[in-house]
Structure 1
């Protein structure tokens, strides 16, 4: 997994993708520690949530960033409730293509103003545990970036017992989306990411990890790109 757009998606395997995603997520603890942020989930609450960020200068040939949240500042009950919300709004529906991860993403990432979703099946898909689709996501980004379009394959896996879920987004060649074209007035960006959320019913431990590499495309120098994604 990296920023090289995948040309041939026909041989992508659900099990292999999740295994590769887990290998990357498991390696984050060995990456370089970066900034730590405190985030208030609810403005009426005074307890900030600590979020640790990490970087890897060369993973599969690209610069990656990651953030890790454990929400240990919350009570067991609140963590459980928060995890259920993540399953609903981060993972999205595994059966309704109109209420996917991307659909919910548009509601909290305000730079996204439009998207297209096309159902797609990978090898070894598991009924009621996985969903895959191709998507074109349109962004209006702040100056000096112009409008961007990202072509991605999104694959989601959720365990039967809801204990863990992965959201995998892979940069793909636009030719994989039937009828797609290089949208006039848009710069083509590239984005690959892995999100893993998990909750242990016995220990009440929640973990939310996201690792990503991206390029907005165009003529921005590498250092600007790295700066922009290191604070995502």
Structure 2
């Protein structure tokens, strides 16, 4: 059975090759250029797009797009925080992430991570366990890809890995982020995701909040990054 980027989780024994994951990620992120345009956020600096779920998809797809000057961050600065130590860094700028743990490192560019999110009542905490695959090309134009696919650690043989997960309701998401250095020197940050919060939250409620949620990550990241950059400059 050929693999498809979807919220259907994968067992560790069935992880596709890095080449397959990256090829599918490139195909998906390119397709976002034809998706339906939605609202813009963060004072019109972040544009959203979407497409309904297709055959084999477990949920609709959402995309956000933003462009950044070197005042925001250079390509290398973006990559240093999104393409490296992504889970640790996300915990710093996404308030809902309270705990993270590396479940297993597969290669220098591929690791399984589990992330523990908390939300305001009555929503219970959620656990998202994903395989993160990264790729960067420093040749012009500089390009970086970060792909997250949901993992299932409940099967036989994965008991030791499953112990690393927190207890709670399991959510699922798949995402592709691409950093691209443009001819004018700016950096395009494009992200596409499909997700399900799990539990008893109706999917239509989750879908309606997605554009705003994914867009908020951009100003949150930049605010956090600038505090880190300023500290480094003062050191």
User: TM-score, length-normalised on structure 1?
Assistant: 0.79
Query: 1:82-139 CA deviation, whole Å, 9 max, x = no partner?
Result: 32321111111xxxxxxx11111111011111111034336xxxxxxx6111111101
Aligned residue for 2:209, secondary structure, equals helix
Query: Given that residues 96 and 119 in structure 2 are in contact (C-alpha distance below 8 angstroms), is that contact kept between their aligned partners in structure 1?
Result: yes
CA distance, structure 1, for counterparts of residue 166 and residue 35 of structure 2? 37
Unaligned runs of 5+ in 2: 214-235
| Aligned equivalent of 1:116 | 101
Query: Given that residues 5 and 173 in structure 1 are in contact (C-alpha distance below 8 angstroms), is that contact kept between their aligned partners in structure 2?
Result: yes
| Aligned equivalent of 1:53 | 48
More helix by share: 2
* Distance apart, 1:177 and its partner CA: 6.8
Aligned residue for 1:120, secondary structure, equals strand
1:166 equivalent to 2:145? Answer: yes
Unaligned runs of 5+ in 1: 40-48, 93-99, 123-129
Match of 1:91 among 83, 95, 112: 83
| Aligned equivalent of 1:229 | 210
RMSD over aligned CA atoms reads 2.2
Query: Given that residues 214 and 229 in structure 1 are in contact (C-alpha distance below 8 angstroms), is that contact kept between their aligned partners in structure 2?
Result: no
Counterparts of 1:73-222 in structure 2 under 5 Å? 74=69, 77-78=70-71, 81-92=73-84, 100-121=85-106, 131-161=109-139, 163-175=142-154, 176=158, 178-181=160-163, 183-184=166-167, 186-200=168-182, 202-222=183-203
User: TM-score, length-normalised on structure 2?
Assistant: 0.78
* Alignment length (residue pairs): 202
